[in-house]
Amino acid sequence: MQTFDLEAEGLRKLNSTLHRQAETTNQTEWEIINPRGSHAIAVGLDAPIEVTIKGSTGYYCAGMNKQATINVHGSAGPGVAENMMSGAVIVDGDASQYAGATGNGGTLVIKGNASSRCGISMKGIDIVVHGNVGHMSAFMAQSGNLVVCGNAGDALGDSIYEARLFVRGSVKSLGADCIEKEMRPEHLAILADLLERGGCDAKPAEFTRYGSARKLYNFNIDNAY
């Protein structure tokens, strides 16, 4: 285990050190201490390493992650795992706005609550939230899966494309073109896998699926003024 004191050695040195880790590195486990809410911790990683952050982080933690597994033993500020490509990011606490925004792949697990715009413009990422999500979550979500074990705020899935949304609790309101959809056996299987990967003990049958009504895909003259 490599231990890095962020307060003593600084963010630039941390990220440059982690970026030097190749796929064949033997320094596969890293512990970051004294993060003190610093921004852009462990961004742009591209190696199969495991990074444990002992405390809460600022904005864009684990952004653009590829291959790495990043564990935040605290809460995360805005944009955690933004534009993630692969790997996994696990947040033990809460996440602020637009968690997992534009994510292309990998898995983001938030064990607390997520704020507004969770999964905005997601493009293939899987997001599992143990608690609630705020308003405008999955706005313009293109593909991937958002699992919410708690409740969802206003305008869930507004202008959604082909992402799948699974909510266990209540939904305050659905956004434009987002509707409740049938939960078929293949969706139950997908959800069971997501819940297992996310460390949730909820049952797939307890969830409702939401997705696109596909009415915004083409121009409609009735919408013109």
**pLDDT tens, residue by residue, 106-116:** 999 999 999 99
Q: What's the pTM? A: 0.95
Model confidence over 126-154: pLDDT tens digits?
A: 999 999 999 999 999 999 999 999 999 99
DSSP output for the chain: -EEEEHHHH-HHHHHHHHHT--TT-S--EEEEE--TT-SSTT-S-BSS-EEEE-S---TTTTTT-BS-EEEESS-B-TTTTTT--SSEEEESS-B-TTTTTT--SSEEEESS-B-TTTTTT-EEEEEEESS-B-TTTTTT--EEEEEESS-B-TTBTTT--S-EEEESS-BS-B-TTEEEE---HHHHHHHHHHHHHTT----GGG-EEEEE---SSS--GGG--
Model confidence over 47-72: pLDDT tens digits?
A: 999 999 999 999 999 999 999 999 99
Q: 2-214 has which fold? A: Pectate Lyase C-like (2.160.20)
pLDDT at 117: 98
Residue spans per domain, the chain:
2-214
